[in-house]
Structure 1
Amino acid sequence: MYKLLKNLFLFFCVVVFFGGCRKEAFDAYYGRPDNLQPPIYQVLSIKGNFTSLLAIIDKSGYKSTLSAAGYWTFFAPNDEAFKKYFTENNTSLAAIDSTTARKLVTYCLVFNAFQTNHIADYQAPTGWVANNAYKRRTAYYDGFYTDNGPDGPATVLLSANRNANTFVFGDNNNKYIPYFYSSYMSSKNLGAADYNYFFPNTPYTGFNVVDASVVNKDLIAENGVIHEIDRVIQPLPSIEQKLAGNTQYSEFKKLFDRFMVSYILNNDAASRYNILTGKTSKVYIKQYAALLAFALGNENYVKAQDNDGQSEGYSMLAPNNEAFTKYLNEVILEFYGTVDKLPSSIVADLLNAHLFSTTLWPTKFSTTNNFLGEPGRISASNNVTDRQFCSNGIFYGTNAVQQANVFSTVYGRAYLDPNYSLMSRVLSNMKATITNPGLQFTIFMVPDVTLRSLGYDYSTATSQYTYTLNGTTTSGNGPRDNLQRIINLHVISTPNKELNNLNSQGIIEAYGSEYIKWNNNTVFAGGNLESTNASYKAIPVVNSRDYSNGRVYYLPAGAMLYPTGTVASQIAVNATTPTSPYYSFYQYLINSTAYNTVAGEIAGFISGANYTVFIPTNAAILQAVRDGILPGTITNNALTTASFNPASVDDRAKVARFIQFHILNGISIAADGQKSPNGAGFPTFLTNSVGDKLELIINNQPNNLKVTDNQGRVATVVNGSASNYLGTRTLLHQIDNYLRYNF
């Protein structure tokens, strides 16, 4: 028995010995390395100057998190920072409750570990983008809160975590913390002025976090990185929270609440709220309309990429009540009268003028565009009275309104007056052009009552333009295009303010490449000349108003109309008798193969194309007969008779070529010195034997338009009623010589 016990003892010793050896080998291979730093909580303990922070961490419930495995960046306030905090807030360590402690800890706790070698770099899906980040997502989020909503002031809400009426359940809408690192600031041409604009009492050191300075960086821990800071940082408000927190912006905020906010019930959120609180309240998502640049409470930026909030944020200019109310009443509501009547598009433009989908740095106001594509037009030094770096961007409280082009340019006159709703709707098609403050325009205002009297309207039920004639209404592209053409006649580019004086007379090209004329404070287009209504022959201009990029005139008694007749019929107007200025040319035309007898139009003319027709005087036509260019007879070397309807094929072809060589194809040129002032060639309707269009050289000086044919002969436009005549997308000019071609 003794021998058995002895053997068992020896066997046990051997097992223990070899087992211990294996454990030592296992620990040596898999055990915690001796040179590995302890976790964040323990590193803070070892440092010895974070006693207040450690107590706060204990209260927050985050001791185990910061003592365990993980991958964090912690901006850690030292004891001196907490001394300042306690003094400035008249509190003490003992007075801080767990909720406050959790805020202080989690807002300084950033997901992922970032040393200074990457703190300024953006984490793109493809890798690091150097010096392109100034924020990081924190462990802090607001979550559920109560505010005014469908269920009254105690409505349970969640802020939208995406833009454009979108919410993603499970995304906590974590707040971001901004920091200001030297390499990022330098790469964006930013500096101390940009930082101290928000934090004037904190020196810019090249590594600041909110209003704190980093005094000891890159402290490595097992579960992340610590950057020691000299101030305690509290969670920053979102732009939405900042706007709501100050009543001096309440009038501005009202427009968001009234027109751009919706409350959407969310059952998933309600279930989560019930689990957390035991309450069965309804939960609504506070969302913002897709018309708006961004949802004010969205902490995630665009979320086109998971981390895009690191590199960008939103910005808001919020005018105070005095400035905003004055602008609202004097500009926006001048014709609408009350806010209730405002279309949502006007409200959206007004609000979006103050919203930037990017970071608006104080030194970059004039070079950073808002959501409407316009730079900041207020002064960062003179107009900003309140400034706040927020968790999702920057908030500027201002004593001025950001002037939007849609309101301050000529476009704004129709846009802001419900009496011009049809014109405004059509003008929106050229909005980008006529709202450009760098261009000058003149617009003749046509009220809805006039356009409706012409048969035009718009159906909101079908979203289509309509045209009514003799009790029959049509809709679709035809009425839309015709109304667009009418409105085009009333929009004129006037870079030299050519129409600021309508006392004289003249001609000018309108937006759609058709021409209008003015004469002694009246205006008209080709369609007015065709009208059988005497009162429509010339439309009186009544009053004017200047805007930032031009002038508007009022036409209360009519509108300019486009012509609908054929160009041939318009030539005929001045060809009724043998002494009429276009008579001989017209007679040759209608008897030639250059005339389409079925259409009653010049052969080859295309609807919608532009032309210029040079019509020689009757005397010049006879000279062409004498020169053998046109068919006719000459008696005793003196009496010349034109043969308007020659019998021979050759003579008929000769007439057709003559007509075609007097027509510019694809362009209307007025004798106003605008097009081709220095001389240029333009194709005619005449094609040579190899298929090339022959050209005429146009040299266009004001009231002195000269045409040179391809034999070097010159004809001059005869100023008077027979020139600059308004045809259908065509100008007719009398010339004092005929044009001769080499064929």
Structure 2
Amino acid sequence: MKKWTSLLASAFLLFFLSCNEMDKYYDNDRHATSVSVGNAWDYLESRGNFTNFLAAVQKVGYEDLVRGKGLATIFAPDDEAFQKYFARHGYSSVNDVPDAELSNMVTYHLLYYSFNADRFMEYRPEGTTADDDYVGLYFKYRTRSRDANEMIEDPSKGKEVEVLHQEKYIPVFTPNLYGWYNNHGSSGSTGAVNYNYFYDSYGSDLWQGDNWVAGNEPYFRVSNAGVKEYSIITDNGYLYVLDDVVEPLKTIYQTIAADDNFSTFAHAYDRFKDLTYNEYLSLNYNNRDSAFLYQSTGLPSIAYERTSLTISSGESTSDMEATLLGPLSSNTLTVFAPSNQAMESFYTTYWEPYYGVNNWDSIKFTPLLALMGEQVGTHRLWASAGPLLPSEISKGNAVTAVSYTPITIDPASDVVTKAFCSNGTLYGVNSLISVPKYFSYVTAPAFMNPKYNMFLLLMARSGVLDLYTAETQTFYAFYPSDDMLKNTQVGDGNSETLIYENAQPNKYGYEDITYSDGEATVSLGMAASARIVRSQVCDNMIEVAGSDEKIYRTTYSTFNYLYQKGDSIFSTAKYNSHYGFQGAQDNNDMITITEMTSDLPEVRNGRVFSLDGEKSATALMPEERSFEEISPNQSQIPWEFLETTAGTRNFYQTGIAGSLNDSTGRLQVYETIKAHDGGGTTVPRYIVFALSNQAVVDAWADRIITNGRNNLFSRYMPNLFVSVERSRLIDYPFPGDGMGTRTLYTFKTKTNTEGEYTSIQLDDMGTHLQLTDSKGRKVKVVNSFPYIYADCAVYIIDSYLDFGDDNTSTVQ
């Protein structure tokens, strides 16, 4: 007994609190100015011309509510209104209407809570005294109408689940709604233009409210119906007499799916459906059977009755509605659905060469999402607040929701079907309102060809897609296949390869690029993804005159490049391994390129290439080793430093090995640089001019690096190390880079001076770089493309540089 007493007390308290909570939203002082006519049932029955409405209410089980048991606003169509409804549908009486349809229709006329006419005209979800700039824009009200549950296939489970539909909202159109647009940065939004546009099938010139001004008698229309009598006070709310039966509105998705001319769009949208289990609804509304909500992932939920409301498993829809009553009453979705012909035309142009004919189910999710999302519209000034009206489209205020591309269609001539829906507006068109920009720039191959799906996922994750659609820049994009990316090493020490995972191939949002951290697979982060993508895309190209060489600067970092020779291409790491080790110059690690630009419908801002190689080929990744780190290691330095016919007189033995610091095991020059430029700890970016082995022999013979008895290369070495910062270089120099003559400053201080450094003149000769030393000697840079490491670029020069007294002087 105590248990039931406690439950009853709790229920009473909940009812009391709920009523007080709703007082701020709804008018409950309905007897303040007039006398109630009694309960709505007896009143309508006494009038004699509501027999069909009352019969319908009784048949679907809502007689008690109309008799006064529960707070409600009742929209009551008279018998003349029902004759219009019967004529539209081919019925003779209420008994001809199928039960489900009748229930849906009747409950669509029964609103939760009570609204007098003034509240409809100036609805404020936060309460009647709330100061709200959006008054007039709140035009939707919750009804008791709900579509019957239905069984829908869940792609993630491979079976049907029971979808529970939410109660519908009904639109009430007031002059203040259209006036709101005119008062907030727009103009010309009249009911005559906008209301009649959607409801012209119910009659001509239905809207008569454009001359309404504040202080006049209320005027509004309830969806397709006009109001004949306003604010009749009953025992449990307000009653309105309508001149037509209100047709329950479908969702945008239901409207599209019912029209065979838009079946392709509906099918493509279906791929993003997310049938979400809801525990609260299952326990409270579905007899404890599992209930699912029909929402979408990645795209607006056009099949869901609620706008601006996403419900997770255990959440109460009622609680969420109370919290988000404002957005639910004002926000709408807008879809510009392309016809089957328009969808198929796009498919033929962009996807058929790679996916085959009409193979929509195979299109990768990311490019399909780009296409579908670009057909969703919004208002350029206030997004989804209020319906996107045809007058706003005509005024240029409509944009695509994803890219904000202006929508330039003519609602009068370009729209083949239109509908005001329970959750927004639908415009059916014979062409796409916008082709996603990614199909027209250097990003196009990723969105068209499934072999680049992993690269596309990395592009999307790294946030660089919009960067590569810049109109004012020219890009050179080199596309690695999925197989190449799976061979690409990442993680600590680049010891792990990339993994493509897709836990649910039939559902959007489950693709991932991962790698193993030794214990489990982890998602590749944004920065690591950007490093891969940016290393394949370049924003500058240099052609070396008189050769088949090209040098590209990547968008990964200022000092990272790709090198092309013939149809082969190398990253800095691949170049170092291919050219840096004698005997390694075979074709096993070669990557060739094939230009795809002319094969694509359009590439506005550059050129695109496919990467091809052996099964072990990888993406083009930059060198991560530093020259400071590897230089003491004979097995890791370029082979040219070792090969000689003069014994140990080569750059490695004479220069590097003879210049090592005994305590650090690294070149002494680095200790000098750190002391003068690096604050004692770091080595700023630099260039090394490494003497060819013959140049070492000549320097030895000419006593440039010796006093005749001792090897003084360690003192000479700082002259070969150029400070990038001191030389004001924003790029490493290359032949043909257009930078002309430059003065390069080394890390070697001049003799008997303070703050002055030895210098080298660099000239771009077109076919090669040339250095001039302090004695005026000309020295040729042998390699067009240097060995590039994380900290420097190493160029081979064919002769020594003579710095006079500063050749082997002690560094100050």
Once residues 717 and 295 of structure 1 are traced to their aligned partners in structure 2, the CA distance between those partners, rounded to angstroms, is 72
Once residues 519 and 316 of structure 1 are traced to their aligned partners in structure 2, the CA distance between those partners, rounded to angstroms, is 50
Q: What amino acid sits opposite 2:687 in the alignment?
A: V
Identity among equivalent positions (%) equals: 15
Q: What amino acid sits opposite 2:480 in the alignment?
A: V
SS in 2 for 1:554: strand
Once residues 244 and 77 of structure 2 are traced to their aligned partners in structure 1, the CA distance between those partners, rounded to angstroms, is 6
Determine the structure 2 residue equivalent to 1:391: 422
Aligned residues: 654
Once residues 292 and 275 of structure 2 are traced to their aligned partners in structure 1, the CA distance between those partners, rounded to angstroms, is 8
Q: 1:671 to 1:271 in 2, by over 3 A?
A: closer
Matched, 1:562 2:622: yes
SS in 2 for 1:140: coil
Matched, 1:528 2:574: yes
Matched, 1:205 2:204: no
Matched, 1:598 2:665: yes
Q: 1:596 to 1:542 in 2, by over 3 A?
A: farther
The answer (yes or no) to whether the contact 2:112–2:143 under 8 Å persists in 1 is: yes
The answer (yes or no) to whether the contact 1:673–1:703 under 8 Å persists in 2 is: yes
Determine the structure 1 residue equivalent to 2:167: 173
Q: What amino acid sits opposite 2:342 in the alignment?
A: A
Map residues 191-270 of structure 1 onto 2, 5 A cutoff. 191-192=189-190, 193-200=193-200, 201-202=204-205, 203=207, 205-206=209-210, 208-209=220-221, 219=231, 221=233, 232-257=245-270, 260=273, 262=275
Determine the structure 1 residue equivalent to 2:125: 123
SS in 2 for 1:189: coil
Q: 1:589 to 1:34 in 2, by over 3 A?
A: closer
Once residues 589 and 681 of structure 1 are traced to their aligned partners in structure 2, the CA distance between those partners, rounded to angstroms, is 25
The answer (yes or no) to whether the contact 1:676–1:699 under 8 Å persists in 2 is: no
SS in 1 for 2:556: coil
Determine the structure 1 residue equivalent to 2:20: none
* Superposed displacement of residue 310, structure 1: 0.8
Determine the structure 1 residue equivalent to 2:687: 613
* Superposed displacement of residue 512, structure 1: 1.2
Once residues 76 and 707 of structure 2 are traced to their aligned partners in structure 1, the CA distance between those partners, rounded to angstroms, is 100
Q: CA RMSD in A?
A: 6.4
Q: 1:642 to 1:524 in 2, by over 3 A?
A: same
Determine the structure 2 residue equivalent to 1:400: 431
Q: What amino acid sits opposite 2:611 in the alignment?
A: L
Map residues 274-289 of structure 1 onto 2, 5 A cutoff. 285=292, 287-289=294-296
Q: 1:295 to 1:483 in 2, by over 3 A?
A: closer
Matched, 1:430 2:462: yes
Matched, 1:137 2:145: no
The answer (yes or no) to whether the contact 1:131–1:184 under 8 Å persists in 2 is: yes
The answer (yes or no) to whether the contact 2:40–2:239 under 8 Å persists in 1 is: no
The structure 2 residue matched to 1:36, chosen from 24, 30, 34, is 34
The answer (yes or no) to whether the contact 2:71–2:237 under 8 Å persists in 1 is: yes
The structure 1 residue matched to 2:409, chosen from 379, 387, 393, is 379
Matched, 1:182 2:215: no
Determine the structure 2 residue equivalent to 1:444: 478
Determine the structure 2 residue equivalent to 1:727: 788
Q: 1:450 to 1:269 in 2, by over 3 A?
A: closer
* Greater radius of gyration (CA): 1
The C-alpha deviation readout for 1:287-328, integer Å capped at 9, x for no partner, is 345444326133354166331211202222322222223434
Q: What amino acid sits opposite 2:417 in the alignment?
A: D
* Superposed displacement of residue 198, structure 1: 2.6
Q: What amino acid sits opposite 2:57 in the alignment?
A: S
Matched, 1:306 2:328: no
The answer (yes or no) to whether the contact 2:151–2:163 under 8 Å persists in 1 is: no
Once residues 89 and 377 of structure 2 are traced to their aligned partners in structure 1, the CA distance between those partners, rounded to angstroms, is 33
Unaligned ranges ≥5, structure 2:
1-28, 155-159, 211-218, 311-319, 379-383, 490-496, 504-511, 579-583, 750-754, 767-773
Once residues 144 and 478 of structure 1 are traced to their aligned partners in structure 2, the CA distance between those partners, rounded to angstroms, is 44
Q: 1:272 to 1:457 in 2, by over 3 A?
A: closer
Map residues 660-739 of structure 1 onto 2, 5 A cutoff. 661=723, 669-671=731-733, 721=782, 725-729=786-790, 730-731=792-793
The C-alpha deviation readout for 1:175-209, integer Å capped at 9, x for no partner, is 33252523323236261355454345444734653
Once residues 516 and 585 of structure 2 are traced to their aligned partners in structure 1, the CA distance between those partners, rounded to angstroms, is 20
The C-alpha deviation readout for 1:512-545, integer Å capped at 9, x for no partner, is 1111234555533322332123447975432322
Q: What amino acid sits opposite 1:379 in the alignment?
A: I
Q: What amino acid sits opposite 2:115 in the alignment?
A: A
The structure 1 residue matched to 2:109, chosen from 103, 107, 110, is 107
The answer (yes or no) to whether the contact 1:427–1:487 under 8 Å persists in 2 is: yes
Determine the structure 2 residue equivalent to 1:323: 342
SS in 1 for 2:334: strand
Map residues 358-373 of structure 1 onto 2, 5 A cutoff. 358=384, 359-362=387-390, 363-364=392-393, 372-373=402-403
The C-alpha deviation readout for 1:550-580, integer Å capped at 9, x for no partner, is 432122236545335543659977767999x
Determine the structure 2 residue equivalent to 1:335: 354
Q: 1:577 to 1:228 in 2, by over 3 A?
A: same
Q: What amino acid sits opposite 2:623 in the alignment?
A: P
Q: What amino acid sits opposite 1:423 in the alignment?
A: F
Matched, 1:516 2:516: no
Q: 1:74 to 1:255 in 2, by over 3 A?
A: same
Once residues 252 and 656 of structure 1 are traced to their aligned partners in structure 2, the CA distance between those partners, rounded to angstroms, is 67
Once residues 255 and 354 of structure 2 are traced to their aligned partners in structure 1, the CA distance between those partners, rounded to angstroms, is 32
The structure 2 residue matched to 1:458, chosen from 478, 481, 499, is 499
Once residues 394 and 318 of structure 1 are traced to their aligned partners in structure 2, the CA distance between those partners, rounded to angstroms, is 11
The answer (yes or no) to whether the contact 1:135–1:309 under 8 Å persists in 2 is: no
- The TM-score normalised by the length of structure 2 is 0.61
Once residues 708 and 67 of structure 2 are traced to their aligned partners in structure 1, the CA distance between those partners, rounded to angstroms, is 107
Determine the structure 2 residue equivalent to 1:164: none
Unaligned ranges ≥5, structure 1:
1-30, 161-171, 276-281, 623-631, 634-638, 688-692, 705-712
Once residues 355 and 656 of structure 2 are traced to their aligned partners in structure 1, the CA distance between those partners, rounded to angstroms, is 55
The answer (yes or no) to whether the contact 1:589–1:656 under 8 Å persists in 2 is: no
The C-alpha deviation readout for 1:613-638, integer Å capped at 9, x for no partner, is 275999xx99xxxxxxxxx99xxxxx
Q: 1:446 to 1:73 in 2, by over 3 A?
A: same
The structure 2 residue matched to 1:552, chosen from 599, 608, 611, is 608
* Superposed displacement of residue 682, structure 1: 13
Once residues 525 and 30 of structure 2 are traced to their aligned partners in structure 1, the CA distance between those partners, rounded to angstroms, is 81
Q: What amino acid sits opposite 1:129 in the alignment?
A: D
Matched, 1:420 2:424: no
Once residues 699 and 199 of structure 1 are traced to their aligned partners in structure 2, the CA distance between those partners, rounded to angstroms, is 79
